[in-house]
Structure formats: structure tokens, C-alpha cells
């Protein structure tokens, strides 16, 4: 998988979609040549020569207008990603005002693309790839609001019950019904600002072997057994369940109190992706919820 090339292709498409007029042809060809990830960077004039060797610009002198091409690309990048760049601490004003500094505008953008944007893009690309391969049966995950001090027996909901509202800061039990009588469950949660492994985890579910029974979380003995599961802010919460026959022996998937709910990052998700690609049989299940004020 060539993540770098896919990343550049995706960003280029966002900057200069194919339905743009041909007047942006030079910018579309310039972008991947200029922002390709490499240790030694060619000059703009060398990039212009490469542009003139591409089929769409064969024989065209791109050197005389290369500075304009560079400025157009930088301006477009700020137009599309300016808010995101600012959130990452990039001062975009000098980039479009052609102010000179310690680095050229394209170098600032290059650094932001590969150090800030790319890791987020890669994580999202892998996540969406897993989601696309997952099934989405109705209500395989359900939540039941509970009183943390209530010690009565928790009974799983009937399958035809309406999905309860997930309220902000309301302690709840999670019901998981995959109708799988064998295998091991890996349950990942993704919120707007969080990415947790819920099962297996010391916080919610130390045991992940499937037996065909409905799984209740937090499990008995889990750190959050008394406090239950709660979401502290409104937003979208996604859940991806992965069932494998042979368990994945990654250190970060071993429940421990030092990392009660492991955070899955790009490196860990890539490790999982590679392992699943080599796995003969695995099943995915996806569901998303809106957490709301009640």
C-alpha cells in the first residue's frame, strides 16, 4: 500500500478536482511533483522541467510561469485547508502575502502536509477501509441508562426494542449481540476527540472470547464496573467490532491497569490493518450513535 502517493492524489483532487477547467492543469501537475516526500528537494525550475515532460504539458515551457504556478497552489492550499492549518499552529497570512521568512511558503506547507495532515489522513483512510468491509446489522450495540448505585440484575434488551437515546453524562450499560458463538472480539471506539480500545480492556471488558451470549459492558471485574459507560460531551460516537478466530497478540491488546482503555493511533491501526489483511477469516461490525444533551 503506497500511502504517500494515495495521500497526494487525494489532496490534489480536493485542491483541483477533475471538473476544474484546464487553466488549473499546471497546478494539478505541479502539486504532486513539488510535495512528493523525499529527503533531497529539487528546485522549482527542476520541477518545471519535469512538468514539461508530462504528457499533458509535453513541450510546453513551464519555467517562465513557475513562480505563478507555485503561488496559485499555495493560495489554493490555504483556501481549502487554512482553518485546519491554523488549528495546527501554522500562520497562513505570510504564505499568501508572499512574505519572506526563515522558510519559503512551499516548505512551510510541505512540513504541515507530512507532519500534521498526513498522520490524520492515514488514520482516517485505514479506519474507513475497515468500516467499508464491515456489516451494519441493526442494533448489534445498544445502551441502557442505569443508576450507578442500582445493584439489581441487568437484563439484556429485547431485539425489537427501540434504540435508547445516549445522553451526555448518563451512565449506561452496553449490550453487544453479534450472534457469534466462537472467536474473539476486538471493539474499537472513535469519537470526535478520542480513539479507544473498549474490548479487550481493563476499563470495560477484560474478557473478549465470544460464546454466543449477549455481552454486557462494563464486565464484572472491569475498572468501570461501578461507574458504567458514559460520554461527557455531545457528538458522534463510532464503534467497530472485529471478530477473529485467532487472537491478535499485540502488546497493546493485553488488558492492563497502566493503560485501562488503550488508545489506538495510526501506528496501531496500521498494525491491525496489516494483520487482518493476512487473516483468512474475520468479520467486521459497524455502528454509529449521536450523543445528545437530555
Residue 20 scores a pLDDT above 50: yes
How much is the average pLDDT of 81-97? Answer: 93
How much is the average pLDDT of 106-126? Answer: 96
- Whether residue 35 contacts residue 56, with contact meaning beta carbons closer than 8 Å, is answered with no
| pLDDT tens readout for residues 204-232 | 999 999 998 999 999 999 999 999 999 99
- Selected residue with higher pLDDT from 161 and 185: 185
Q: Which helix (H) or strand (E) holds 125?
A: helix 118-132
For 225, list phi and psi in degrees, rounded to 5.
-55, -45
Report the percentage of the chain scoring pLDDT > 70: 90
The number of angstroms, rounded, from the C-alpha of 175 to the middle of its chain's C-alpha atoms is 25
Strands 195-199 and 215-217: unpaired
Residues 187, 183: Cα–Cα separation, whole Å? 13
Let me know if 197 is exposed, middle or buried by CB neighbors in 10 A (0-12, 13-18, 19+): buried
What are the cell numbers at 175?
449490550
- Whether residue 33 contacts residue 51, with contact meaning beta carbons closer than 8 Å, is answered with yes
Amino acid at each position: 500500500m503506497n500511502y504517500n502517493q494515495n495521500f497526494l492524489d487525494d489532496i490534489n483532487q480536493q485542491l483541483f478536482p477533475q471538473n476544474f477547467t484546464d487553466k488549473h492543469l499546471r497546478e494539478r501537475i505541479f502539486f504532486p511533483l513539488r510535495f512528493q516526500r523525499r529527503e533531497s528537494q529539487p528546485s522549482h525550475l527542476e520541477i518545471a522541467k519535469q512538468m514539461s515532460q508530462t504528457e499533458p504539458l509535453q513541450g510546453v515551457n513551464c519555467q517562465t510561469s513557475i513562480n505563478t504556478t507555485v503561488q496559485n497552489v499555495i493560495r489554493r492550499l490555504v483556501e481549502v485547508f487554512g482553518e485546519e492549518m491554523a488549528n495546527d499552529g501554522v500562520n497562513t497570512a505570510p504564505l499568501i502575502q508572499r512574505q519572506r521568512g526563515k522558510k519559503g511558503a512551499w516548505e512551510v506547507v510541505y512540513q504541515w502536509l507530512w507532519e500534521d495532515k498526513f498522520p490524520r489522513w492515514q488514520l482516517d483512510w485505514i479506519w474507513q477501509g475497515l468500516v467499508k468491509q464491515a456489516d451494519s446489522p441493526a442494533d448489534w450495540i445498544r445502551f441502557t441508562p442505569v443508576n450507578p448505585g442500582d445493584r439489581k440484575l441487568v437484563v439484556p434488551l429485547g431485539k425489537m426494542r427501540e434504540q435508547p437515546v445516549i445522553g451526555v453524562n448518563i451512565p449506561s450499560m452496553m449490550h453487544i449481540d453479534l450472534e457469534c458463538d466462537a472467536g474473539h472480539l476486538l471493539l474499537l471506539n472513535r469519537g470526535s476527540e478520542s480513539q479507544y480500545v473498549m474490548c479487550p480492556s481493563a476499563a470495560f471488558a477484560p474478557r473478549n472470547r465470544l460464546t454466543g451470549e449477549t455481552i454486557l459492558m462494563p464486565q464484572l471485574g472491569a475498572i468501570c464496573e461501578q461507574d458504567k459507560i458514559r460520554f461527557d460531551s455531545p457528538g458522534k460516537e463510532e464503534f467497530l467490532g472485529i471478530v477473529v478466530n485467532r487472537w491478535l497478540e499485540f502488546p497493546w491488546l493485553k488488558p492492563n491497569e497502566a493503560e485501562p482503555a488503550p488508545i489506538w493511533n495510526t501506528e496501531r491501526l496500521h498494525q491491525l490493518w496489516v494483520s487482518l489483511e493476512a487473516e483468512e477469516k474475520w468479520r467486521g461490525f459497524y455502528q454509529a450513535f449521536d450523543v445528545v444533551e437530555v
